[in-house]
A = this chain, B = another copy of it.
Amino acid sequence: MAAGKHSGLNERALIADIFAPLAANTPGALNLKDDAACLVPPAGKDLVITTDAIVAGVHFFSHDPADTVAAKALRVNLSDLAAKGAEPLGYTLCLALDEECTIEWVSEFAKGLQRDQLGYGISLYGGDTVKTPGPLSVSITAFGAVKMGAMVARKGAKSGDIIFVSGTIGDGALGLEVARGLYDGLGDEKKAFLLHRYRCPEPRCALAPALVQFASAAMDVSDGLIGDIGALCAVSGVSADIELDDIPLSPAVHSLVGGDDRLLHLAVNGGDDYEIICTVAPGDVDAFLDSAQQCGVAVSKIGVITTGTHNPRIYDNKGKQVTLLVGRYEH
């Protein structure tokens, strides 16, 4: 682990005292005392590599608890691995610390990493800490393993394939609204649920084996369900019909949405879900559902892949086409 330059915190001490224990079970990480780590690739496997950064004030609130910042930074990456059918192995971490950052914050941050390392069976392979005059940011590169040639791509969905999504949709987008102080009347329990879902998404690593075996295509939902289905369709050269009422919503989102179309559409397409979209050939659907159940991950059928290159179409329960009032997160 390279100690970065110029921080007010003593970065060699941070590495030795706070981060090295996160690498203790990885002999190839050399206690973060070397320039680099050594990873022995699992035999017969391909490596899957992904990277995502989060920035204070952009992707999380600077007052968010440090352990949830760690969890979010790690989990958005694990979600990508899960969507590709990969079992997570480890990660590297670049931490840019702002001037106000304290040793206590970094310790709590590391506790969040440690908890998720145990939860997901992964380890830290290396990192870099630098100081920034700007906001704190966290960049993580995660790597996982998948059977040789078996990585599940976005490309591969075929007309007639059934579209599934894991978990529930909209908790993250409405959790962000709760974090902004909205929905005072919702009740503390539901607010806490949504806030937690926003801060600590649940990567569906457990679903990976079912995806490898049965999915024709998959991706994780980060920028909005419908928009992301559109992205999957675009790269596969197909389109989709989506049943609005089949999109799985949590009780908290249900209570919030009521009959408010704008809120419903925000839930459906607001992003920050980190659930998995996948497509499954009709003949594999029963086996996929069995497999997902064995994996312990709820999946819901929400539509079907169609021919064409138009944007996915969304229908209400009367068969009427719906125009979303909330677009995909655009950049």
Query: Which residues of chain A have a CB within 8 Å of any CB of chain B?
Result: 2-7, 9-12, 28, 30, 33-41, 45-55, 57-59, 80-81, 83-84, 86, 92-94, 96, 98, 125-128, 130-135, 137, 139, 141, 143, 146, 148, 151, 153-155, 219-220, 222-223, 235, 329, 331
Contacts and interface: CB of A to CB of B under 8 A. Distances in A.
Contact of A128 (B34, B52, B154): B52
A151 B126 CA distance: 15
A130 B51 contact: no
Given A54-B130, A57-B133, A235 B33 contact: yes
A80 B41 contact: no
Given A6-B331, A12-B331, A35-B220, 16 more contacts: A2-B52, A6-B58, A10-B331, A33-B235, A36-B86, A37-B50, A38-B47, A38-B146, A41-B46, A50-B126, A54-B130, A55-B130, A94-B139, A96-B139, A132-B134, A141-B141
Given A58-B133, A80-B2, A131-B58, A92 B331 contact: no
A277 to B, nearest CB: 11
B49 A126 contact: yes
B53 A48 contact: no
A92 B92 CA distance: 11
B35 A80 contact: yes
B49 A92 contact: yes
Given A5-B58, A154-B33, A331-B6, A137 B49 contact: no
A40 B35 contact: no
A120 to B, nearest CB: 16
A227 to B, nearest CB: 11
A30 B94 CA distance: 25
A12 B46 CA distance: 27
